[in-house]
Structure 1
Amino acid sequence: MVEFGGRRLALVAAGFVMGAAAPTALVMADSGPQKAAFDEISVKRINIVEPDGKYRLVLANSDRFPGLFMEGREYKHHSRDGGGMLFFNDEGDEVGGLTFGSKTVGENRRASGSLMFDQYKQDQTVGIQYSEADGKRTAGLRVWDRPDWSIKPLMEMSARAAAASDEVGRTRIRDEMRAYAMANGGAGAERVFAGKTTDDAIVRLADKSGRPRLLLKVGADGEPSIEFLDTAGRVVKRITQ
Protein backbone atom coordinates (compact mmCIF):
# COMPACT_ATOMS: atom_id res chain seq x y z
CA MET A 1 0.00 0.00 0.00
CA VAL A 2 1.38 3.39 -0.96
CA GLU A 3 1.18 6.02 1.77
CA PHE A 4 1.97 9.56 0.68
CA GLY A 5 4.25 11.05 3.31
CA GLY A 6 3.68 8.02 5.58
CA ARG A 7 0.71 9.65 7.34
CA ARG A 8 -2.70 8.14 7.72
CA LEU A 9 -5.82 10.02 8.72
CA ALA A 10 -5.43 9.06 12.39
CA LEU A 11 -1.97 10.62 12.54
CA VAL A 12 -3.12 13.74 10.71
CA ALA A 13 -6.06 14.09 13.08
CA ALA A 14 -3.92 13.55 16.17
CA GLY A 15 -1.35 16.10 14.98
CA PHE A 16 -4.09 18.60 14.30
CA VAL A 17 -5.49 18.23 17.81
CA MET A 18 -2.12 18.51 19.52
CA GLY A 19 -0.92 21.44 17.44
CA ALA A 20 -4.07 23.53 17.11
CA ALA A 21 -4.26 26.78 19.06
CA ALA A 22 -7.81 25.99 20.21
CA PRO A 23 -8.35 22.24 19.90
CA THR A 24 -11.77 20.67 20.22
CA ALA A 25 -12.54 17.74 22.46
CA LEU A 26 -10.59 14.50 22.13
CA VAL A 27 -12.73 11.66 23.46
CA MET A 28 -10.79 8.58 24.59
CA ALA A 29 -12.29 5.37 25.89
CA ASP A 30 -10.48 3.21 28.45
CA SER A 31 -9.81 0.73 25.66
CA GLY A 32 -10.32 0.57 21.92
CA PRO A 33 -9.69 3.12 19.19
CA GLN A 34 -9.46 6.84 19.86
CA LYS A 35 -12.23 9.12 18.64
CA ALA A 36 -11.66 12.74 17.72
CA ALA A 37 -14.12 15.53 16.92
CA PHE A 38 -13.28 18.68 14.95
CA ASP A 39 -15.07 21.80 13.87
CA GLU A 40 -12.93 21.99 10.74
CA ILE A 41 -10.01 20.09 9.22
CA SER A 42 -7.92 20.72 6.08
CA VAL A 43 -6.03 17.80 4.53
CA LYS A 44 -4.56 16.91 1.16
CA ARG A 45 -5.55 13.24 1.25
CA ILE A 46 -7.70 10.89 3.34
CA ASN A 47 -7.38 7.10 3.09
CA ILE A 48 -10.21 4.90 4.37
CA VAL A 49 -8.69 1.44 4.84
CA GLU A 50 -9.82 -2.05 5.82
CA PRO A 51 -8.29 -3.89 8.81
CA ASP A 52 -5.82 -5.59 6.43
CA GLY A 53 -4.65 -2.22 5.10
CA LYS A 54 -6.40 -2.36 1.72
CA TYR A 55 -7.95 0.86 0.52
CA ARG A 56 -11.74 1.15 0.56
CA LEU A 57 -12.01 4.84 -0.26
CA VAL A 58 -9.52 7.63 -1.05
CA LEU A 59 -10.26 11.37 -1.08
CA ALA A 60 -7.42 13.50 -2.40
CA ASN A 61 -6.39 16.71 -4.10
CA SER A 62 -4.92 16.64 -7.60
CA ASP A 63 -1.32 16.40 -6.38
CA ARG A 64 -1.95 13.36 -4.16
CA PHE A 65 -4.68 11.63 -6.17
CA PRO A 66 -3.85 7.92 -6.58
CA GLY A 67 -3.13 6.09 -9.82
CA LEU A 68 -4.74 2.89 -11.08
CA PHE A 69 -5.24 -0.07 -8.73
CA MET A 70 -5.58 -3.81 -9.28
CA GLU A 71 -5.32 -6.44 -6.52
CA GLY A 72 -4.05 -3.84 -4.08
CA ARG A 73 -1.16 -2.72 -6.29
CA GLU A 74 -0.91 0.83 -7.63
CA TYR A 75 0.03 1.65 -11.23
CA LYS A 76 0.76 5.25 -12.18
CA HIS A 77 -1.80 6.83 -14.51
CA HIS A 78 -0.38 8.20 -17.74
CA SER A 79 -2.72 11.21 -17.94
CA ARG A 80 -4.86 11.58 -14.80
CA ASP A 81 -4.36 15.02 -13.27
CA GLY A 82 -7.49 15.85 -11.26
CA GLY A 83 -8.65 15.39 -7.69
CA GLY A 84 -11.70 13.75 -6.18
CA MET A 85 -12.68 10.39 -4.74
CA LEU A 86 -11.75 6.81 -5.68
CA PHE A 87 -13.69 3.65 -4.75
CA PHE A 88 -12.19 0.17 -4.13
CA ASN A 89 -13.67 -3.34 -3.89
CA ASP A 90 -12.82 -6.17 -1.48
CA GLU A 91 -9.87 -7.29 -3.63
CA GLY A 92 -8.17 -3.91 -3.73
CA ASP A 93 -9.28 -3.06 -7.27
CA GLU A 94 -10.28 0.44 -8.32
CA VAL A 95 -14.03 0.25 -9.09
CA GLY A 96 -15.04 3.83 -9.84
CA GLY A 97 -14.93 7.29 -8.44
CA LEU A 98 -16.05 10.88 -8.31
CA THR A 99 -13.91 13.41 -10.20
CA PHE A 100 -14.29 17.02 -11.27
CA GLY A 101 -12.20 19.86 -12.58
CA SER A 102 -11.92 22.90 -14.83
CA LYS A 103 -9.31 24.71 -16.90
CA THR A 104 -9.27 28.10 -18.62
CA VAL A 105 -6.63 29.12 -21.16
CA GLY A 106 -7.26 32.53 -22.71
CA GLU A 107 -10.72 32.42 -24.32
CA ASN A 108 -10.92 28.64 -24.06
CA ARG A 109 -12.48 27.00 -21.03
CA ARG A 110 -13.13 23.40 -20.09
CA ALA A 111 -14.96 21.83 -17.17
CA SER A 112 -16.12 18.35 -16.25
CA GLY A 113 -17.55 16.23 -13.47
CA SER A 114 -18.33 12.52 -13.31
CA LEU A 115 -19.52 9.77 -10.99
CA MET A 116 -18.43 6.40 -12.43
CA PHE A 117 -18.78 2.74 -11.47
CA ASP A 118 -16.52 0.12 -13.06
CA GLN A 119 -17.18 -3.40 -14.28
CA TYR A 120 -15.27 -6.09 -12.39
CA LYS A 121 -11.61 -5.99 -13.50
CA GLN A 122 -12.58 -3.53 -16.25
CA ASP A 123 -13.32 0.12 -16.99
CA GLN A 124 -16.47 2.14 -16.23
CA THR A 125 -19.77 0.51 -17.12
CA VAL A 126 -22.25 3.11 -15.85
CA GLY A 127 -21.85 6.75 -14.96
CA ILE A 128 -23.28 10.25 -14.68
CA GLN A 129 -21.12 12.73 -16.54
CA TYR A 130 -20.95 16.42 -17.38
CA SER A 131 -18.43 18.01 -19.74
CA GLU A 132 -18.04 21.45 -21.29
CA ALA A 133 -15.63 22.82 -23.87
CA ASP A 134 -15.85 26.38 -25.18
CA GLY A 135 -19.57 26.72 -24.40
CA LYS A 136 -20.62 23.31 -25.80
CA ARG A 137 -22.06 21.21 -22.98
CA THR A 138 -23.04 17.58 -22.58
CA ALA A 139 -24.59 16.06 -19.46
CA GLY A 140 -26.31 12.76 -18.82
CA LEU A 141 -26.35 9.10 -17.88
CA ARG A 142 -24.07 6.77 -19.85
CA VAL A 143 -23.92 2.96 -20.00
CA TRP A 144 -21.05 1.04 -21.61
CA ASP A 145 -20.45 -2.52 -22.73
CA ARG A 146 -17.08 -3.84 -21.56
CA PRO A 147 -15.27 -7.06 -22.52
CA ASP A 148 -14.60 -9.87 -20.04
CA TRP A 149 -10.79 -9.64 -20.00
CA SER A 150 -8.90 -7.95 -17.17
CA ILE A 151 -7.39 -4.52 -17.85
CA LYS A 152 -4.39 -5.24 -15.59
CA PRO A 153 -2.00 -5.38 -18.61
CA LEU A 154 -3.25 -1.92 -19.64
CA MET A 155 -2.51 -0.64 -16.13
CA GLU A 156 1.05 -1.95 -16.46
CA MET A 157 1.39 -0.14 -19.80
CA SER A 158 -0.05 3.01 -18.24
CA ALA A 159 2.68 2.95 -15.59
CA ARG A 160 5.29 2.63 -18.35
CA ALA A 161 3.75 5.58 -20.19
CA ALA A 162 3.77 7.68 -17.02
CA ALA A 163 7.48 6.91 -16.57
CA ALA A 164 8.40 7.73 -20.18
CA SER A 165 10.99 10.46 -20.54
CA ASP A 166 9.17 12.40 -23.25
CA GLU A 167 5.83 12.79 -25.03
CA VAL A 168 7.00 10.70 -27.97
CA GLY A 169 7.58 7.75 -25.66
CA ARG A 170 4.21 8.23 -23.94
CA THR A 171 2.41 8.39 -27.28
CA ARG A 172 4.09 5.19 -28.44
CA ILE A 173 2.99 3.31 -25.31
CA ARG A 174 -0.54 4.72 -25.57
CA ASP A 175 -0.64 3.33 -29.11
CA GLU A 176 0.43 -0.03 -27.66
CA MET A 177 -2.45 0.18 -25.19
CA ARG A 178 -4.98 0.78 -27.97
CA ALA A 179 -3.48 -2.04 -30.05
CA TYR A 180 -3.67 -4.44 -27.10
CA ALA A 181 -7.32 -3.58 -26.48
CA MET A 182 -8.24 -4.02 -30.15
CA ALA A 183 -6.37 -7.34 -30.35
CA ASN A 184 -8.49 -8.59 -27.44
CA GLY A 185 -11.82 -7.62 -28.96
CA GLY A 186 -11.86 -3.90 -28.23
CA ALA A 187 -12.19 -1.72 -25.16
CA GLY A 188 -15.99 -1.67 -25.22
CA ALA A 189 -18.61 0.72 -26.50
CA GLU A 190 -21.22 3.16 -25.23
CA ARG A 191 -24.66 1.56 -25.50
CA VAL A 192 -26.92 4.14 -23.82
CA PHE A 193 -26.87 7.91 -23.37
CA ALA A 194 -29.75 9.80 -21.79
CA GLY A 195 -29.26 13.49 -21.28
CA LYS A 196 -28.54 16.78 -23.02
CA THR A 197 -26.17 17.65 -25.85
CA THR A 198 -25.89 21.41 -26.43
CA ASP A 199 -29.58 22.37 -26.99
CA ASP A 200 -31.11 18.91 -27.54
CA ALA A 201 -32.53 16.50 -24.95
CA ILE A 202 -31.92 12.97 -26.24
CA VAL A 203 -31.97 9.26 -25.53
CA ARG A 204 -29.49 7.46 -27.78
CA LEU A 205 -29.34 3.66 -28.02
CA ALA A 206 -26.44 1.95 -29.79
CA ASP A 207 -25.50 -1.56 -30.91
CA LYS A 208 -22.63 -3.59 -29.43
CA SER A 209 -20.17 -1.80 -31.70
CA GLY A 210 -21.24 1.57 -30.31
CA ARG A 211 -23.10 2.63 -33.48
CA PRO A 212 -26.25 4.69 -32.68
CA ARG A 213 -29.36 2.91 -34.01
CA LEU A 214 -32.25 4.66 -32.26
CA LEU A 215 -32.53 8.31 -31.26
CA LEU A 216 -35.32 9.94 -29.25
CA LYS A 217 -34.96 13.70 -29.31
CA VAL A 218 -36.56 16.97 -28.34
CA GLY A 219 -34.67 19.66 -30.22
CA ALA A 220 -33.96 23.28 -29.43
CA ASP A 221 -37.13 24.19 -31.32
CA GLY A 222 -39.20 22.04 -28.93
CA GLU A 223 -40.13 19.49 -31.61
CA PRO A 224 -39.99 15.80 -30.56
CA SER A 225 -38.82 13.05 -32.93
CA ILE A 226 -37.80 9.40 -33.11
CA GLU A 227 -35.09 8.44 -35.59
CA PHE A 228 -34.02 4.96 -36.74
CA LEU A 229 -30.46 4.75 -38.08
CA ASP A 230 -28.56 2.17 -40.12
CA THR A 231 -25.05 0.94 -39.29
CA ALA A 232 -23.54 3.85 -41.24
CA GLY A 233 -25.40 6.41 -39.10
CA ARG A 234 -27.93 7.36 -41.79
CA VAL A 235 -31.51 8.07 -40.74
CA VAL A 236 -33.70 5.43 -42.44
CA LYS A 237 -36.95 6.37 -40.72
CA ARG A 238 -38.07 9.43 -38.80
CA ILE A 239 -41.25 9.85 -36.77
CA THR A 240 -42.44 13.30 -35.76
CA GLN A 241 -45.43 14.55 -33.82
Structure 2
Amino acid sequence: MEKLIREVRTLKIYAGVLTVMCFLFFFLAFKNGSNEHFKEIDVERINIVEKDGTLKMVISNKERQHPGLVNHKALKPREREAGLIFFNSIGDECGGLVYDGNEKESGMVYSVDQRNTDQVMQLQYFEAAGKDKNRVYGLKLWDRPDDFPLEKIIKFEDSLKKLNDPAASKKAYAKLREEGKLTNERFFAGKTADGDVGIFIRDTKGKVRLKLYVDKNNQTHIESLDDNGKPIK
Protein backbone atom coordinates (compact mmCIF):
# COMPACT_ATOMS: atom_id res chain seq x y z
CA MET A 1 0.00 0.00 0.00
CA GLU A 2 2.83 2.41 0.89
CA LYS A 3 4.48 1.64 -2.45
CA LEU A 4 1.25 2.43 -4.27
CA ILE A 5 0.89 5.73 -2.37
CA ARG A 6 4.46 6.72 -3.33
CA GLU A 7 3.81 5.92 -7.01
CA VAL A 8 0.59 7.95 -6.98
CA ARG A 9 2.41 10.86 -5.35
CA THR A 10 5.17 10.63 -7.98
CA LEU A 11 2.62 10.62 -10.80
CA LYS A 12 0.93 13.69 -9.33
CA ILE A 13 4.23 15.56 -9.17
CA TYR A 14 5.09 14.47 -12.71
CA ALA A 15 1.67 15.56 -14.01
CA GLY A 16 1.96 18.90 -12.22
CA VAL A 17 5.42 19.64 -13.62
CA LEU A 18 4.33 18.60 -17.13
CA THR A 19 1.24 20.83 -16.94
CA VAL A 20 3.34 23.84 -15.87
CA MET A 21 5.85 23.20 -18.66
CA CYS A 22 3.10 22.93 -21.30
CA PHE A 23 1.48 26.12 -20.04
CA LEU A 24 4.77 28.02 -20.19
CA PHE A 25 5.48 26.67 -23.68
CA PHE A 26 2.15 27.75 -25.15
CA PHE A 27 2.19 31.06 -23.28
CA LEU A 28 5.64 32.00 -24.56
CA ALA A 29 5.00 30.71 -28.08
CA PHE A 30 1.54 32.15 -28.67
CA LYS A 31 1.07 35.04 -26.24
CA ASN A 32 -0.99 37.90 -27.69
CA GLY A 33 0.86 40.86 -29.15
CA SER A 34 4.22 39.08 -29.31
CA ASN A 35 6.45 39.77 -32.27
CA GLU A 36 9.62 37.87 -33.04
CA HIS A 37 12.56 39.99 -34.16
CA PHE A 38 15.15 38.66 -36.59
CA LYS A 39 18.14 40.60 -37.81
CA GLU A 40 18.55 38.24 -40.75
CA ILE A 41 16.76 35.16 -42.02
CA ASP A 42 17.33 32.84 -45.01
CA VAL A 43 14.19 31.22 -46.40
CA GLU A 44 13.20 29.61 -49.71
CA ARG A 45 9.49 30.44 -49.54
CA ILE A 46 7.03 32.37 -47.36
CA ASN A 47 3.23 31.93 -47.59
CA ILE A 48 1.09 34.84 -46.38
CA VAL A 49 -2.34 33.58 -45.31
CA GLU A 50 -5.51 34.87 -43.64
CA LYS A 51 -6.68 33.49 -40.28
CA ASP A 52 -8.81 30.90 -42.09
CA GLY A 53 -5.83 29.70 -44.12
CA THR A 54 -6.73 31.48 -47.37
CA LEU A 55 -3.53 32.05 -49.35
CA LYS A 56 -2.98 35.74 -50.19
CA MET A 57 0.68 36.02 -51.20
CA VAL A 58 3.74 33.88 -51.85
CA ILE A 59 7.34 35.11 -51.69
CA SER A 60 9.53 32.42 -53.18
CA ASN A 61 12.69 31.44 -54.96
CA LYS A 62 12.49 29.94 -58.45
CA GLU A 63 12.50 26.27 -57.43
CA ARG A 64 9.62 26.57 -54.93
CA GLN A 65 7.57 29.21 -56.76
CA HIS A 66 3.79 28.71 -56.72
CA PRO A 67 2.30 27.64 -60.11
CA GLY A 68 -0.83 29.79 -59.62
CA LEU A 69 -4.43 29.29 -58.50
CA VAL A 70 -7.82 29.18 -60.25
CA ASN A 71 -10.87 28.84 -57.97
CA HIS A 72 -8.63 27.72 -55.09
CA LYS A 73 -7.14 24.98 -57.29
CA ALA A 74 -3.40 24.94 -58.03
CA LEU A 75 -2.42 24.94 -61.70
CA LYS A 76 -0.15 22.27 -63.14
CA PRO A 77 3.52 22.54 -62.04
CA ARG A 78 5.43 24.95 -64.25
CA GLU A 79 8.71 26.84 -64.19
CA ARG A 80 8.35 30.37 -62.83
CA GLU A 81 10.93 32.93 -61.79
CA ALA A 82 11.56 34.04 -58.23
CA GLY A 83 9.39 36.84 -56.86
CA LEU A 84 5.99 37.62 -55.37
CA ILE A 85 2.65 36.15 -56.45
CA PHE A 86 -0.63 37.66 -55.23
CA PHE A 87 -3.95 35.83 -54.69
CA ASN A 88 -7.45 37.23 -54.10
CA SER A 89 -10.19 35.99 -51.75
CA ILE A 90 -11.98 34.01 -54.48
CA GLY A 91 -8.93 31.77 -54.87
CA ASP A 92 -7.41 33.19 -58.06
CA GLU A 93 -3.95 34.51 -58.78
CA CYS A 94 -4.34 38.23 -59.36
CA GLY A 95 -0.88 39.50 -60.19
CA GLY A 96 2.74 39.43 -59.14
CA LEU A 97 6.32 40.51 -59.53
CA VAL A 98 8.92 38.18 -61.06
CA TYR A 99 12.48 38.80 -62.18
CA ASP A 100 15.78 37.22 -63.18
CA GLY A 101 18.94 37.81 -65.16
CA ASN A 102 21.88 35.85 -66.54
CA GLU A 103 24.64 36.16 -69.15
CA LYS A 104 22.14 35.84 -72.03
CA GLU A 105 19.13 37.90 -70.93
CA SER A 106 17.47 39.68 -68.04
CA GLY A 107 14.06 41.01 -67.13
CA MET A 108 11.53 42.05 -64.54
CA VAL A 109 7.72 42.12 -64.79
CA TYR A 110 5.06 43.50 -62.47
CA SER A 111 1.62 42.22 -63.53
CA VAL A 112 -1.95 43.15 -62.59
CA ASP A 113 -4.53 40.49 -63.51
CA GLN A 114 -8.16 40.96 -64.48
CA ARG A 115 -10.55 39.01 -62.24
CA ASN A 116 -11.03 35.39 -63.44
CA THR A 117 -8.34 35.70 -66.10
CA ASP A 118 -4.77 36.75 -66.83
CA GLN A 119 -2.85 40.05 -66.83
CA VAL A 120 -4.31 43.25 -68.27
CA MET A 121 -1.49 45.57 -67.20
CA GLN A 122 2.26 45.14 -66.91
CA LEU A 123 5.32 47.18 -66.11
CA GLN A 124 7.99 45.24 -67.95
CA TYR A 125 11.68 45.24 -68.73
CA PHE A 126 13.47 42.80 -71.03
CA GLU A 127 17.03 42.82 -72.33
CA ALA A 128 18.91 40.33 -74.48
CA ALA A 129 22.70 40.03 -74.39
CA GLY A 130 24.77 41.00 -77.40
CA LYS A 131 25.82 44.10 -79.29
CA ASP A 132 22.29 45.37 -79.99
CA LYS A 133 20.86 44.19 -76.64
CA ASN A 134 17.22 44.52 -77.90
CA ARG A 135 16.23 46.32 -74.72
CA VAL A 136 12.46 46.83 -74.27
CA TYR A 137 10.73 48.43 -71.29
CA GLY A 138 7.54 50.27 -70.48
CA LEU A 139 3.85 49.98 -69.61
CA LYS A 140 1.64 47.58 -71.58
CA LEU A 141 -2.16 47.13 -71.48
CA TRP A 142 -4.43 44.38 -72.85
CA ASP A 143 -8.15 43.79 -73.33
CA ARG A 144 -9.53 40.43 -72.20
CA PRO A 145 -13.13 39.20 -72.72
CA ASP A 146 -15.33 38.53 -69.69
CA ASP A 147 -16.96 35.43 -71.24
CA PHE A 148 -13.71 33.48 -71.75
CA PRO A 149 -12.06 33.21 -68.30
CA LEU A 150 -8.75 31.58 -67.52
CA GLU A 151 -10.28 28.16 -66.77
CA LYS A 152 -11.74 28.01 -70.29
CA ILE A 153 -8.46 29.23 -71.79
CA ILE A 154 -6.54 26.44 -70.02
CA LYS A 155 -9.02 23.76 -71.13
CA PHE A 156 -8.92 25.09 -74.70
CA GLU A 157 -5.12 25.04 -74.86
CA ASP A 158 -4.91 21.59 -73.25
CA SER A 159 -7.34 20.16 -75.82
CA LEU A 160 -5.25 21.58 -78.68
CA LYS A 161 -2.07 20.08 -77.23
CA LYS A 162 -3.71 16.66 -77.18
CA LEU A 163 -4.68 17.01 -80.85
CA ASN A 164 -1.07 17.80 -81.82
CA ASP A 165 -2.33 19.28 -85.09
CA PRO A 166 -0.82 22.69 -86.00
CA ALA A 167 -3.35 23.31 -88.78
CA ALA A 168 -6.31 22.56 -86.50
CA SER A 169 -4.82 24.75 -83.75
CA LYS A 170 -4.40 27.67 -86.14
CA LYS A 171 -8.01 27.30 -87.31
CA ALA A 172 -9.29 27.11 -83.71
CA TYR A 173 -7.41 30.24 -82.69
CA ALA A 174 -8.69 32.08 -85.78
CA LYS A 175 -12.25 31.16 -84.81
CA LEU A 176 -11.76 32.45 -81.27
CA ARG A 177 -10.27 35.69 -82.56
CA GLU A 178 -13.25 36.15 -84.87
CA GLU A 179 -15.57 35.62 -81.88
CA GLY A 180 -13.66 38.22 -79.86
CA LYS A 181 -12.49 35.74 -77.22
CA LEU A 182 -8.75 36.25 -77.57
CA THR A 183 -6.63 38.79 -75.72
CA ASN A 184 -5.60 41.90 -77.63
CA GLU A 185 -2.82 44.30 -76.82
CA ARG A 186 -4.19 47.86 -76.70
CA PHE A 187 -1.46 50.17 -75.46
CA PHE A 188 2.29 50.44 -74.99
CA ALA A 189 4.24 53.39 -73.60
CA GLY A 190 7.98 52.96 -73.44
CA LYS A 191 11.00 51.97 -75.50
CA THR A 192 10.80 49.38 -78.30
CA ALA A 193 13.50 46.99 -79.54
CA ASP A 194 14.04 49.36 -82.50
CA GLY A 195 14.97 52.18 -80.13
CA ASP A 196 11.72 54.14 -80.58
CA VAL A 197 10.44 55.84 -77.42
CA GLY A 198 6.80 56.85 -77.33
CA ILE A 199 3.16 55.79 -77.19
CA PHE A 200 1.67 53.08 -79.41
CA ILE A 201 -2.13 52.58 -79.39
CA ARG A 202 -3.99 49.63 -80.93
CA ASP A 203 -7.64 49.08 -81.84
CA THR A 204 -9.97 46.41 -80.43
CA LYS A 205 -8.50 43.88 -82.87
CA GLY A 206 -4.94 44.52 -81.67
CA LYS A 207 -3.82 46.46 -84.74
CA VAL A 208 -1.62 49.55 -84.27
CA ARG A 209 -3.63 52.66 -85.19
CA LEU A 210 -1.69 55.54 -83.64
CA LYS A 211 2.03 56.12 -82.98
CA LEU A 212 3.61 59.09 -81.24
CA TYR A 213 7.33 58.56 -80.78
CA VAL A 214 10.91 59.76 -81.12
CA ASP A 215 13.18 57.38 -83.03
CA LYS A 216 16.81 56.50 -82.28
CA ASN A 217 17.94 59.33 -84.56
CA ASN A 218 15.93 61.87 -82.51
CA GLN A 219 13.35 62.34 -85.26
CA THR A 220 9.76 62.90 -84.07
CA HIS A 221 6.82 60.96 -85.56
CA ILE A 222 3.04 61.15 -85.31
CA GLU A 223 1.47 58.40 -87.42
CA SER A 224 -2.19 57.50 -87.84
CA LEU A 225 -2.82 54.12 -89.49
CA ASP A 226 -5.85 52.39 -90.98
CA ASP A 227 -6.88 48.83 -90.10
CA ASN A 228 -4.51 47.53 -92.78
CA GLY A 229 -1.54 49.30 -91.24
CA LYS A 230 -1.27 51.92 -93.97
CA PRO A 231 -0.64 55.58 -93.05
CA ILE A 232 -3.65 57.93 -93.09
CA LYS A 233 -2.73 61.35 -94.49
- TM-score after normalising by structure 2: 0.74
Distance 1:200 1:54, change over 3 A: same
TM-aligned CA deviation for residue 155 of structure 1: 3.8
1:121 equivalenced with 2:116 (yes/no): yes
Structure 1 residue matching 2:135: 3-state secondary structure: strand
Choose from 177, 181, 186 the match for 2:181. Answer: 186
1:220 equivalenced with 2:219 (yes/no): no
1:112 equivalenced with 2:111 (yes/no): no
Of the structure 1 ranges 184-193 and 140-149, higher mean CA displacement relative to structure 2 is found in 184-193
Aligned-partner Cα distance in 2 for 1:95–1:53: 18
Choose from 117, 136, 144 the match for 2:134. Answer: 136
The count of aligned residue pairs is 199
Contact 2:99 2:108 survives alignment (8 Å): yes
Distance 1:50 1:170, change over 3 A: farther
Aligned to 1:17: none
Distance 1:234 1:180, change over 3 A: closer
Distance 1:221 1:51, change over 3 A: same
Whose strand fraction is larger, Structure 1's or Structure 2's?
1
Contact 1:157 1:177 survives alignment (8 Å): no
Aligned-partner Cα distance in 1 for 2:171–2:84: 26
TM-aligned CA deviation for residue 32 of structure 1: 2.7
The answer for unaligned runs of 5 or more in structure 2 is: 1-26
1:39-72, CA deviations, whole angstroms, 9 ceiling, x for partnerless residues?
1111110000011211111011111111121121
Aligned to 2:45: 45
Aligned-partner Cα distance in 1 for 2:165–2:80: 18
The answer for unaligned runs of 5 or more in structure 1 is: 1-26, 162-168
Distance 1:36 1:155, change over 3 A: farther
1:235 equivalenced with 2:228 (yes/no): no
**Matched residues, percent identical?**
34
Aligned-partner Cα distance in 2 for 1:178–1:83: 36
- Aligned residue runs from structure 1 range 63-82, under 5 A: 63-78=63-78, 80-82=79-81
TM-aligned CA deviation for residue 235 of structure 1: 2.1
Distance 1:179 1:66, change over 3 A: farther
Aligned to 1:60: 60
1:55-113, CA deviations, whole angstroms, 9 ceiling, x for partnerless residues?
111011111111121121101155x3311110111111100100112244xxxx22111
Whose helix fraction is larger, Structure 1's or Structure 2's?
2
Contact 2:67 2:80 survives alignment (8 Å): no
Structure 1 residue ranges (4+ consecutive) displaced by more than 6 angstroms after TM superposition = 173-178
- TM-score after normalising by structure 1: 0.72
Aligned-partner Cα distance in 1 for 2:171–2:47: 32
Of the structure 1 ranges 197-206 and 135-144, higher mean CA displacement relative to structure 2 is found in 197-206
Aligned to 1:97: 96
Structure 2 residue matching 1:59: 3-state secondary structure: strand
Structure 1 residue matching 2:97: 3-state secondary structure: strand
Distance 1:112 1:177, change over 3 A: farther
Contact 1:75 1:155 survives alignment (8 Å): no
Q: Radius of gyration: which is bigger?
A: 2
1:129-172, CA deviations, whole angstroms, 9 ceiling, x for partnerless residues?
111224101100011100103211334577x69xxxxxxx6894
